[in-house]
A and B are shown apart, each in its own frame.
Chain A
Amino acid sequence: MLWHALTLQLGYNATLVTLGAMLLGVAAGVTGTFLFLRKRALVSDAISHATLPGVGMAFIIMVALGGDGRSLIGLMLGSAASAWIGLLCIGALTRRTRLAEDAAIGAVLSVFFGIGIVFLTFIQTMSEGRQAGLEGFLLGSTAGMLYSDAMIIAVGGALVLAAVIAFRRPLSAVAFDPEFAASSGLNVPRLDLIMMGLVMAITVVGLKIVGLILIVALLIIPAVTARFWSERVTGVLWVAGVVGGVAGYVGAALSAIAPALPTGPVIVLVLFAMFALSLLFAPARGVLAAVLKHLSFQKRVHIRQGLLALAQGQPIYEKLTLRLLQRAGFARADGVATTDGKARAAKALRDETRWQMARSREEFALAATFYDGLTEIEGVLTRDQINELDRLIGAPRGVPV
């Protein structure tokens, strides 16, 4: 059954929904990357929570006009309107009062969500309309989705994706350096508004599948995950798109075989798995890589310090240093240098002496910036420069040159 779902063998409608969710995931991952780079991730949470009153209002209006209140387009328009009002409220609170944006987000998010819940509760008591399933907008559901619904989601996702790709350069310029962007003639407030508008479009389009409480995950986690794997905006965009797409695809496929399970949480769990793997195992920025890098650095520092101590005939007090020297074959357990160790110690001391001289002379100022206690000076200076240093040092103290 799981295999059937993942290979799209559950019928035409389920397939369409799954592909629609995938496209939405790609668009959300790419759009969310700019939000993440602009450090405005939380605004998307406020936007999504602010959609709820609109969903309720749209339902009530559609029922009042004689419908059953279930038209996805109608509910989307309502949610977009109230999300826009929420966005304007955050903007006004941030600009016109002394409130910081995080406080404005918190206030708008909770108030709009509260109003929305009041609307939904009122709707449950209405005798007209088909309110069953409206709570699916909270946590997402693919159950009972129509062909037309899936098409709206797929087309909406594709349109947003195209718009974000078109605006990628100005959006990344504003995210990296808004002052420079403004000085070169980009309208920063307008670009921010465009970005927020696209985020709102993703939220509204994804409302039915992911649900408003968790759509923030589909916007932010792909970007955060992708950042572990790439040092370039283009790379982050690609990885975020793939991560979002996989999450949307798997989430919708699983929810096709387990209709009782809301789609949003499934998508979040898939996202979390990819995030956790990246956090742990990403090559440059992952936790494991950082620990290994730290350990190897620590080892080099201890060996260098130990060798310098040996060269100067000082005892080695630190157990870790002694153990590392022993393991490298530079010292015996009682701290006496081996033949190999003596040669390496002399070399280390000579290197350190040359560094000290280089750092004290103005003509070596540039080279001196490379000093970190570990890099060998022979890798930084030319043979001639080193000869000059040795001349300045004079007769090396007992160290054969």
Chain B
Amino acid sequence: MTPLELATSNGARLQNAHAGAALAIRGMTVSYGQKPAVFSVDMSVPVGSMTAIIGPNGAGKSTLLKAALGVIKPLAGTATVFGQPVADARARIAYVPQRASVDWDFPTRVLDVVLMGLYRELGLLGRLRGTHKAKAMDCLARVGMQDFASRQIGQLSGGQQQRVFLARALAQNADLYLLDEPFAGVDAATEKAIIDVLKSLRAEGKTVVAVHHDLSTVADYFDRVFLINTTRVAEGTVEEAFTPQTLQEAYGGRLATGQLGQTALGA
């Protein structure tokens, strides 16, 4: 067991582990109606790591992220980012919501979407200047979308939309990147472009947490895993937490044993 794992099972040392964490969630419970979607979840993401949140459909993966961000109000629980309450650490957080959560016929261009990542910096009455546009163009270039800057967003393919969302998060210039299913329904070229950007973020010392659904790429893309099925099932490095046993526990009968053996390490 790593010190971090020991700490999470030990109340006294929990405090210490959380102090050094990029994202620390404690006792998070979210419920839609009477049924909890996330129940009493603890999570601790070390600085500079790349974590995949995985679990079956309806396991509360996206809900956990949104509750941590304060996008939805949890029934109980707290989240801190670099030791601060989330509300005080907004400037250090970037978020990529699910692509399907917005209307892509909205009257806006690709560059305008990326500029939304700079609104906090701009404030209510700040003027949009050439430097802001240059910054937004840089972010588009990092995801290979610079040629699409003046396109209407409705004309983009799914993969291109996802890249624009990532560019907007890059514009936020944060230390912690939270992504909700960034690889869902995208083409192979986009998947590669996104993972390259995420790995370059980690190389810069940033922390990345992504809700992920493709078990076959977990070990290639991420160094840590958080398995959830309403409650926390396992958390740790890929070697520790991404095993046939933990997957069986999280997915139950929903994964064929053969599939478990192929995807998980140590089988």
Contact = CB atoms under 8 A, between A and B. Distances in A.
Given A185-B87, A227-B107, A179 B66 contact: yes
A106 interface: no
Interface string A360-387: 0000011001000000000000000000
B90 A185 contact: yes
Given A233-B107, A365-B188, A184 B112 contact: no
A52 B124 CA distance: 35
Contacts of A37: 106-107
A274 B128 CA distance: 32
B120 A184 contact: yes
A328 to B, nearest CB: 29
A36 to B, nearest CB: 10
A39 B107 CA distance: 13
A169 B113 CA distance: 11
Interface stretch (A170-178, A337-345, A351-359): A170-178
A110 to B, nearest CB: 28
A232 B154 CA distance: 12
A175 B116 CA distance: 12
A182 B90 CA distance: 10
B157 A177 contact: no
Nearest to A369: B187
Contacts of A177: 97, 101-102, 116
24 contacts: A37-B106, A170-B119, A172-B108, A176-B102, A176-B103, A176-B106, A176-B116, A177-B97, A177-B116, A179-B71, A179-B101, A180-B97, A182-B69, A183-B70, A183-B90, A183-B97, A184-B117, A184-B119, A184-B120, A232-B109, A232-B112, A233-B107, A236-B107, A369-B157
A186 to B, nearest CB: 8
Interface string A222-255: 0000010011110110000000000000000000
A170 B189 CA distance: 33
Given A182-B70, A232-B107, A365 B113 contact: no
A170 B97 contact: no
Contacts of A182: 69-71
Contact of B93 (A167, A183, A231): A183
A292 interface: no
Given A37-B107, A182-B71, 8 more contacts: A167-B124, A170-B124, A173-B116, A176-B106, A177-B97, A183-B70, A184-B117, A232-B107
Most chain B CB neighbours (cut-off 10 Å) among A167, A232, A366: A232
A305 to B, nearest CB: 25
Interface in B78-135: 87, 90, 93, 95, 97, 101-103, 106-109, 112-113, 116-117, 119-120, 122, 124-125
B21 to A, nearest CB: 19
A231 B152 contact: yes
Given A170-B124, A183-B69, A175 B106 contact: yes
B44 interface: no
A183 B108 contact: no
A190 to B, nearest CB: 13
A166 interface: yes
Contact of B116 (A167, A180, A365): A180
Q: Which of A172, A183, A227, A230 gathers the greatest number of chain B CB atoms within 10 Å?
A: A183
B51 interface: no
Interface in B184-206: 187-189
Contacts of A236: 107
A143 B242 CA distance: 77
